Structure 1
Amino acid sequence: MTPRIRSALATTLATTLGTPLVVLGIPLAQADTLTPVWSFANASLNYLDWSSGTERRTADNAAKSDFFYLELEGGVGFEWGEFYGFADLENPGNSRFDADSDGRDNRRTAAKLTSHFYLGDSPFSLYAHVYDFRDPGFNAREQDQVLGLGFRHTFANGLWVKPFLGAARVQSSGHTGMNGYMAGWVAGYDFQAFDQAFSVTNWHEQTFDRADAYLEQNFVGDKAGPVGTNGAVSLWWHPHERLTTGVQYRYANNKLGTPDAYQNAMIYTLKFNFL
């Protein structure tokens, strides 16, 4: 039985009997606490197309190749906090090491979980996130962990933004330890055009003051600079409550294993919304 169903049942019984009961082992107040205010979930098919300039600039340092990936994505919000996460399987039909591409098309995984724990009735929150990437073909892994403060605000026109700033730690095959700081945001705006529903979203991460050992060990060909940029800007079309399609402009610099080189790609996405 889901928390939503248990909460609804507890509320109904308490209202009927006129007493604050403990129902199914969960106090009514706790049941309300566990009831989501909002939630969403989807599965998607994605194709990432690196620019020709990116493929040229990274040919000798963490070479990039276009790829398909499958993704599960979801989020949930409560009165006291919210969570968002995704899990990706890149090149799902390939082996761990793809010999024909010299490893560029290996089967890889990536996952991320972010959270805001609200600080009372203020717009501030305790922010935490974990990002995990693994490329078994090269025996490479990196997990980035961030803990800090977040902020949430929705403007009168509907634009919402959630910036954060936190201390960063990395656990990887090349270096493990504290790794400077990360600042960033997620933002979005919903709008109507041509009698259709659209939205624009942006996620952005700026890492700085990263450890020298990390910059030397976790990049290919040379030591990377201390500041890294990572993000995407997306345009989404929602033709049906169960379907979303969109295009994303993906950008990075001093990230993704390549030092001192700008990397950009287009991502084409089709989502099935099941929640």
Structure 2
Amino acid sequence: MRKSLVALSVLAAAAAVPAQAEYLYGFGNVSVNYLDWSNGTENRSGKEDFSYLELEGGAGFSWGELYGFADLENLENGTDDVRTSIKGSIAVKTGLKELRGYGQLYNTNSNSFTAQNTVLGMSYSFSGDNWAFNPWVGFHHTITTKTFGPEATGSFSGMNGGMLGWSAMYNFKAFGESFMVSNWHETEFARDDAYLATSGESDDLTANGALALWWNVTESVTTGVQYRYAYNKLGQQGHDNAMIYSVKYNF
């Protein structure tokens, strides 16, 4: 029920945006991706490589920006092991230069665990002709449950410190082709001890993100490789890292 209430609150906030807003830009794509964990990560954690399908989109308006994606993961290992992940964010202009009110919701579900992270805070938009950098910071609320079979082995619901992060991109030309470098990053801090006791993670400071190089083969097709990294996240202590190989169809 609480998950539903949080999701409805985010939708209500989006609905409150003025209907007369001017549309400025937008993008959307569907992609096929393969995540290949490093040997060290597999040895430390037992994680397995997997493929996933992703639907992604975003738009800019006179009042601010929207972004979101939905993933269907681990398809090759049967329906019992399929995971779903969704993420949505909204940045609303305050009228104070490029300062924005910011909200972010991430939710992932599988047979063995569920997790929801909600952030409410502020962001700022820096941008130029070929680049953008959008840092943000906010209060962090977490709902997580780890299940193995019919019984829960650990759960947490409540405020969980803060989170800060950014999204960044740079477009450039090379060898007569169009490329983009992008990076998203999140760091959690001052996490609750009760959360750490059930999460399998340690320390109240984390890192989570990806650094990517994209090649725009045509207007409709983009391919890329991402370096995925995490520290004291994803249900374990220490470092995780992987490479992700992607092909997108842009519409």
Residue 161 of structure 2: aligned partner: 180
Contact 1:96–1:135 (Cα < 8 Å) also in 2: no
Kept in 1, the 8 Å contact 2:91–2:123? The answer is yes
Displacement after TM superposition at 1:125 (Å): 0.2
In structure 1, how many angstroms separate the alpha carbons of the residues matched to 2:236 and 2:31? 27
SS at match of 1:175: strand
Distance in 2 between residues matched to 1:69 and 1:272, nearest whole Å: 14
Q: Counterpart of 2:229?
A: 251
Aligned to 2:242: 265
Instruction: Give the drift of 1:160.
Output: 1.1
Structure 1, residues 50-80: CA drift from partner, whole Å, max 9, x if none?
000111121xxxx211000000000011000
Compute the displacement of 1:93 (Å). 4.1
> Does the aligned pair in 2 maintain the 1:236–1:246 contact within 8 Å?
yes
Post-superposition Cα deviations, 1:158-211, rounded to whole Å, max 9, x if no partner, equal: 321000000000012110000000011000000000110000000000001001
Say whether 1:159 aligns with 2:142.
no
Partner of 1:23: none
Whole-angstrom distance in 2 between the partners of 1:197 and 1:134: 36
Corresponding position of 2:57 = 74
Secondary structure at the counterpart of residue 87 of structure 1: strand
Contact kept, 8 Å, 2:125 with 2:135, in 1: the verdict is yes
Per the alignment, residue 141 of structure 1 pairs with 114
Structure 1 unaligned spans of 5+: 1-29, 98-105
Q: Is the 8 A contact 1:111 1:133 kept in 2?
A: yes
Out of 15, 24, 33, the residue aligned to residue 46 of structure 1 is 33
Which structure 1 residue ranges, 4+ long, deviate > 6 Å from structure 2? none
Contact preservation (8 Å) 2:51, 2:76: no
Scaled by the length of structure 1, the TM-score of the pair is 0.79
Q: Which protein has the bigger strand share?
A: 2
Instruction: Please say if 1:122 is aligned against 2:97.
Output: yes
Matched to 1:143, the amino acid is: Q
Per the TM alignment, residue 32 of structure 1 is displaced from its structure 2 partner at its CA by: 4.7
Q: Which TM-score applies when normalising by structure 2?
A: 0.86
Superposed displacement of residue 228, structure 1: 1.1
Tell me, in whole angstroms, the C-alpha distance in 1 between the residues paired with 2:119 and 2:107. 12
Partner amino acid for 1:166?
A: G
Please state how far the C-alpha of 1:31 moved relative to its aligned partner: 6.3
In structure 1, the partner of 2:177 is 196
Identity, in percent, stands at 45
Counterpart for residue 92 of structure 1: 75
Q: Deviations over 1:127-180 (max 9, x none)?
A: 1000001112x1x1000000000000114x632100000000001211000000
Contact 2:156–2:195, Cα closer than 8 Å, also in 1: yes
- Pair member with larger Rg: 1
